[in-house]
Amino acid sequence: MSKIIKIIADRSVATLALIVLSPVILLIAIAIYGQMGSPILFTQDRPGKDGRVFQFAKFRTMTNERNSEGELLPDEQRLTLLGKLLRKTSLDELPQLWHVFKGEMSIVGPRPLLVRYLKLYNEEQARRHDVLPGITGWAQVNGRRNLDGDFIKKFQFDVWYVDNWSLWLDLKIIWLTVLAVIAQKDIDQEGYATGGGEFLGNKE
């Protein structure tokens, strides 16, 4: 019954948020287009529940500037002032509400990482895909910057969430996330090109 409530709550919250925040979403889209042109969204294949791949989206925060050899410049050079603001306030995550509405993601769950990591997980770590990925999660509200690069610890938090999930735990995570955003603390952006490093497997 609790899982049904979670599904209904996810869809309801996502629907309401998309409606209420539609002016903000539109303004951000216009600002990104004005500063960087198209595309407005950064999209990338990510694995969801049971490893099923979906096209993950967030607001674009970096330019596509390249050097004389045609290679992309380092992330920190391509990250715009607008992009920094969007990440600091977590507004770059708003497009993921659409994934929640479609049932590809949940408000709370393990963050969706890169598809190539699937073959690197051990059996225990792979259990993070037993539930829908989330916009925020237990690892994010517990780790933040002190967990940068420590994927093993992050995965332990993810599996702990899978084993101990409850509606009350989700509410706690949402509350802690809101507090972090209000305090403008850096919430861990694992899985992005500029956050958390690269998972090289359990021998890293």
Rounded to whole angstroms, the Cα distance separating 108 from 18 reads 17
Note whether residue 204 is domain-resident.
Answer: no
Note whether residue 201 is domain-resident.
Answer: no
Note whether residue 172 is domain-resident.
Answer: yes
Give the number of domains in the chain. 1
Tokens for 83?
């992009």
Could you tell me if 96 and 81 are in contact, meaning their C-beta atoms sit under 8 angstroms apart?
A: no
Note whether residue 203 is domain-resident.
Answer: no
Note whether residue 189 is domain-resident.
Answer: no
Note whether residue 195 is domain-resident.
Answer: no
Note whether residue 164 is domain-resident.
Answer: yes
Rounded to whole angstroms, the Cα distance separating 134 from 99 reads 10
pTM: 0.86
59-111 residue pLDDT tens: 999 988 888 787 888 888 889 999 999 998 889 999 999 999 999 999 999 99
Structural domain range at position 9? 2-182
